[in-house]
Amino acid sequence: MSPEAFRAAGYAAIDWIVRYLEQIESYPVRSRAEPGQLRRRLPRAAPEQGESFDDVLRDLDELILPGITHWQSPGFFAYFPANSSPPGILGELLSVGLGVQGMMWVTSPAATELESHVLDWLVGALGLPEAFLCTGAGGGVIQDSASSAALCALVAAREQTRGEGGLRRLRLYASTQAHSSIAKGAKIAGFEPDQLRLIEVDDALAMRPDALAAAIEADVADGVRPCFVCATVGTTATTAIDPVPAIAEICRPHGVWLHVDGAYAGSAAICPELRWVNEGLDQVDSYCFNPHKWLLTPFDCTVLWVADRRPLIDAMRIDPDYLHNAASASEAVIDYRDWHVPLGRRFRALKLWTVLRSYGLQGLRDHVRRHVQLAQQLAERIDAHPRLERLAPTRLGLVCFRLRASDEDNQRLLDALNDSGALYLTHARVHDRLFLRMAVGGRLTEARHVEAAWAQIVSRVGDPG
């Protein structure tokens, strides 16, 4: 592709994205594709001769779009949001335009320094503890996912404690509501399923500190070593908030690593009135949240912060001769390869930078506030409806509700709503009851879209009376 052809195709690609986003409401939110539908329509082998980019864009419309679930649609209320945004898309584009691999400071000094700097900005913007600043003993690193961040924290905790009798003696703790990535991380990190203790929750689905304390004390009495606790701020099923200060107090005397998973809820701290999500973070070892969920930065962008970077680097560092360089030897620079599992890394800080600069903190606050307000209004309507009930408090953008009927009836309601094409919700289950989750958080989601979703619900369950 010549530079001129690249320019023309590049303009066409941006035009394509602009048109897609303008028309996004015209597509069924959840893809209606059948299994194998796309593969049946694609050529058996890659083309022998190069094709024109126009042909690629045409196939994007004809072949790919029918197989897309429209995560950026204002009617997307499933899972948690995965915000994209024009400045984020451009940041991503510029990152691949530069095409750098920023594994070490020396491989692109600006990639490392911009990352440290925007993560320090975020510490201020979110009101996080100063210990997380890269200018101190701790620091932040961008990872691909909260799952990877939890794995890194877990391995750092494991390496700190394993000397005292080996891996088999260690114990891990998370609530019954913790994300599945904690169990997955434990599995990858070499733990047996019985080494992860799932701690009971209270009526609000938050971890019970007394149950955690009892489990840890019982383990200590049994001669095994408590190693790692994951507290969740904003659980996936219902956005329950584990009491981090009380949990930290239990961890401290036993030297247990405390990781906090704020994957979704962490973005809320951009609003001063929602900073209760940060409570206790000044007493934790590591914390992660996903700007790629609710902070307008396209997937993938998770931030992991540690209060002390030493244990993480000790756990992750491997030092082959071919990567030796004067800057690393000087210890005056950060080499982010030592802060996560892969060696290579993308220049993800660029999209976070373009997002922060384009929206400003005020723009990000407006985005989060709008969704919290819309979710609150929806919760009030549900509470006023005789056939519906809510399963959990609506503190942020997630509304959990069910029909006062059987699980089968709730499943049928969910399927009917999703088959309508106008919206997409997903389900969860607590206390063995199925419920619907409506996560309000799309960049394009406005009051009228929540109104339309409510109209869809009411058309199936009846007017509030």
Ligand X SMILES: *Cc1c(COP(=O)(O)O)cnc(C)c1O
Residue 347 interacting with ligand X (CB under 6 A):
no
Touching ligand X, residues 231-260 (CB under 6 A): 232, 234-236
Choose the binding region for ligand X from 21-29, 94-102, 229-237, 368-376 (rule: CB under 6 A).
Answer: 229-237
**Which residues, numbered 50-89, are part of the site for ligand X (CB under 6 A)?**
80
Element of type H or E holding 304 = strand 302-306
Give least dist CB 236 to ligand X, A. Answer: 4
Burial 343-373 (b: 16+ CB within 10 A, else e): eebbbbbbbbbbbbebbeeeebbebbebbbe
Are the C-beta atoms of residues 224 and 171 closer than 8 Å to each other?
Answer: yes
Structure tokens at 291: 């700007």
Choice from 95, 116, 161, 290 touching ligand X (CB under 6 A): 290
Nearer to ligand X, 175 or 418 (CB): 175
CA angle 316, 287, 363 (to 5 degrees): 125
Between 278 and 290, whose beta carbon lies closer to ligand X? 290
From residue 162 to residue 181, what is the string marking binding to ligand X with x (rule CB under 6 A)? -----------------x-x
Residue span 294-333 as binding mask against ligand X, x where in contact by CB under 6 A, dash where not = --------x-------------------------------
Contact between residue 256 and residue 225 where contact means Cβ atoms under 8 Å apart = no
Contacts of 392 (CB under 8 A, 6+ apart): 204, 205, 237, 238, 239, 240, 400, 430
* Coil, strand or helix at 341: coil
> Residue 265 Cβ, how far from ligand X at the closest point, in Å?
8
Contact in structure between 226 and 219 (CB atoms under 8 Å): yes
CA distances for 261 relative to 258, 281, 403, 416, angstroms: 10, 11, 30, 33
Query: What is the nearest approach in angstroms of ligand X to the Cβ of residue 392?
Result: 14
**85 and 297 Cβ atoms separated by less than 8 Å:** yes
CA atoms of 403 and 411, how far apart (whole Å): 10
146 binds ligand X (CB under 6 A): yes
Among 191, 264, 336, 353, binds ligand X (CB under 6 A): 264
Site string for ligand X, 180-209 (x = CB under 6 A): -x----------------------------
What minimum distance in Å lies between the beta carbon of 150 and ligand X? 7
Residues making contact with ligand X (CB under 6 A): 80, 145-147, 179, 181, 232, 234-236, 261, 263-264, 290, 302
